[in-house]
Amino acid sequence: MTIKLRNARLIDGTGAEPYLAEIVIEGQRIASVAAEGTGDGQDSDATVIDVGGATVMPGLIDAHSHPSFLPEIDLAKMGDLPVEEHTLLTARNARLMLDQGFTSMLCAASAKPRLDLVVRNEINAGNLIGPRMLVASPELTVTGGVGDVRLPHMHRQSVEHVCDGVDQFRQTTRWYMREGVDHMKLDISGDEFIPYAKGRVTTMTDEEVAATCQVAHARGKRVAAHARSAESVKMCVRHGIEIIFHADFTDEEGLDLVAENKDKHFVAPAFGFLHTSRYEAGDWGLTPEVTASMGLDEQLESLIANMIELKKRGVRVLPGGDYFVPWNPMGNNARDLEHFVNFLEFSPMEAIESATRLGGELMLQPDDLGCIKAGYLADLLVLDGDPLKDIAILQNQSTFTGIMKDGVWHKEPPLSRSGDVEKWSISGSVTGAPEPVLR
Ligand SMILES: [Zn+2]
């Protein structure tokens, strides 16, 4: 089946200026992209959709998703949900992500061992609707680390997998390799939300981190880490941890190390969670007094300075903001792009490139995902509006008139919008090589 999109104001994911284009999709891939009116005339057997100058851009890619997390900060409660309800919730959240324009997501941790991975498998088999997923193990933590909510007087397990010592890390990592995760997740540092292990504390030992990395890397799998402390970020570099989450308290030495190895690492600060915890969670008890006493002001300030510096040095910094708690809910994930623009010195185009082309690299499909180019998988969005003028429109589901994954419409745009071309301020003639033609 061939689909031709005409009069598309194309943002192709590479950072190139938008231009008016026609895009031909054959099966699951993009067959050709050409300036409007210069295509090879395949209209006869194609379904032609005139999008009327609407924006067409690659599907969004989220770098830190938690489809199996409840809207809940209390990890013990999250652990208590029976696995049957929990699986259904995970599937619903995956679909919600696709509804919001995310055609791919990298999961940061599963809330039970196999939740994210069975949903991934069902989506890949075509039995469930959702984005492409790369899935993690639950967070491996140590006794007294992030998420160890066990109580001394009773047996209890929550969303984390508690390991102590090299042997337990090695065995647990082998266990998750057998189950089929795409990457391991380690909680190397503490967190301001954990009174007994704050963010500057490094909870895991070098040997424990090395054990997981050794097992995962030997099987060709990656490792992702919750790494807030300065030392934890250095451990990520030392052990070749590909995906570094947070990096709030990185020091100069850590910044240098990450920058020197920028081709090996992705950094996803998970900005949304920290921002909303500081500024928008008063109704949930996180008043300015409480967040000040937790140290969220310094944490946010440090995170912002570090991300600006890493971006300047060419490190791949990606949006994906721990959206699951009620004040930072699942589905709002595109708000991270707005945060990148407002706080981290990204232009709207850079934020989009980060969530698309760099996302394709993060998903391990740099030649398949994240750009609208001939040969790439047809994951794309049709938007009524210009995200370069207002990046926040990406958060509004009603903006999306079309969402396509793998060449199949999840949301199908109307066949003709030709009357709208003028509405979107398209002018000038378009010939030959792609040139910016919009004012
Ligand atoms: Zn997270």
The pLDDT tens digits of the residues spanning 372-386 come to 999 999 999 999 999
Residue 433 has pLDDT above 80, yes or no: no
Output the CA–CA distances (angstroms, integers) from residue 309 to 199, 231, 255, 298, in the order listed: 20, 18, 8, 16
Distance 225 CA to ligand 1 centre (A): 10
Distance 134 CA to ligand 1 centre (A): 14
User: Whole-angstrom Cα distance, residue 378 to residue 369?
Assistant: 8
The confidence score (pLDDT) of residue 42 equals 54
Alpha helices, DSSP H only, in 313-428? 335-343, 348-355, 357-362
CB 382 within 8 A of CB 402: yes
**Which residues crowd ion ligand 1, with CB under 5 Å?**
108, 322
Distance 66 CA to ligand 1 centre (A): 7
Distance 322 CA to ligand 1 centre (A): 5
Q: Confidence class of residue 437 from pLDDT cuts 50, 70 and 90? A: very low
Distance 108 CA to ligand 1 centre (A): 5
Distance 16 CA to ligand 1 centre (A): 31
Average pLDDT over residues 69-97: 94
- Lookup result for tokens 């250095």: 234
Distance 422 CA to ligand 1 centre (A): 43
* Cα angle: 95, vertex 101, 102; to 5 degrees: 70
Residue 1 has pLDDT above 90, yes or no: no
Over pLDDT 70: what percentage of the chain? 94
User: Whole-angstrom Cα distance, residue 329 to residue 70?
Assistant: 9
Q: Confidence class of residue 184 from pLDDT cuts 50, 70 and 90? A: very high
Domains of the chain, earliest start first: 2-59+370-424 (2.30.40.10), 60-362 (3.20.20.140)
Q: Confidence class of residue 428 from pLDDT cuts 50, 70 and 90? A: very low
Distance 35 CA to ligand 1 centre (A): 41
The confidence score (pLDDT) of residue 435 equals 41
CB 89 within 8 A of CB 130: no
Residue 438 has pLDDT above 80, yes or no: no
Distance 404 CA to ligand 1 centre (A): 27
Residue 436 has pLDDT above 50, yes or no: no
- Of 138-152, 181-195, 310-324, the range with the lowest mean pLDDT is 138-152
Distance 228 CA to ligand 1 centre (A): 12
CB 10 within 8 A of CB 23: yes
Q: Confidence class of residue 257 from pLDDT cuts 50, 70 and 90? A: very high
- Lookup result for tokens 């208590």: 80
Starting at the earlier edge strand, list the strands of the sheet with 102-107: 60-65, 102-107, 132-134
Q: E-assigned strands of 315-393?
A: 316-317, 380-383
Q: Is 378 left (phi over 0), alpha (psi -120 to 50) or beta?
A: beta
Average pLDDT over residues 343-356: 98
Distance 64 CA to ligand 1 centre (A): 6
Distance 28 CA to ligand 1 centre (A): 31
- Of 54-68, 108-122, 284-298, 407-421, the range with the lowest mean pLDDT is 407-421
Average pLDDT over residues 335-363: 98
User: Whole-angstrom Cα distance, residue 318 to residue 356?
Assistant: 9
User: Whole-angstrom Cα distance, residue 75 to residue 70?
Assistant: 9
Distance 166 CA to ligand 1 centre (A): 24
Alpha helices, DSSP H only, in 363-417? none
Distance 264 CA to ligand 1 centre (A): 21
- Lookup result for tokens 């995906």: 243
Average pLDDT over residues 223-245: 98
SS3 annotation, 3-56: EEEEEEEECCCCCCCCEEEEEEEECCEEEEEEECCCCCCCHHHCEEEECCCCEE
Q: Confidence class of residue 251 from pLDDT cuts 50, 70 and 90? A: very high
Average pLDDT over residues 271-290: 97
The confidence score (pLDDT) of residue 149 equals 87
Distance 17 CA to ligand 1 centre (A): 33
Distance 385 CA to ligand 1 centre (A): 31
Distance 257 CA to ligand 1 centre (A): 23
Distance 318 CA to ligand 1 centre (A): 14
User: Whole-angstrom Cα distance, residue 18 to residue 9?
Assistant: 6
End-to-end CA distance of the chain: 34
Distance 389 CA to ligand 1 centre (A): 30
Starting at the earlier edge strand, list the strands of the sheet with 266-268: 160-162, 136-141, 183-187, 222-227, 243-246, 266-268, 316-317
The pLDDT tens digits of the residues spanning 5-50 come to 999 999 999 999 999 999 999 999 999 999 998 876 656 689 999 9
Distance 231 CA to ligand 1 centre (A): 19
Distance 161 CA to ligand 1 centre (A): 15
Distance 109 CA to ligand 1 centre (A): 7
Q: What pairing do the DSSP bridges indicate for beta strands 55-58 and 2-10?
A: parallel
The confidence score (pLDDT) of residue 420 equals 57
Q: Which long-range contacts (CB under 8 A, 24 or more apart) does 84-87 make?
A: 86/111, 86/112, 86/115, 87/115, 87/118, 87/119
Distance 51 CA to ligand 1 centre (A): 37
Write the DSSP symbol of residue 338: H
Average pLDDT over residues 324-342: 97
The pLDDT tens digits of the residues spanning 395-427 come to 999 999 999 999 999 999 988 876 555 554 443
Distance 321 CA to ligand 1 centre (A): 8
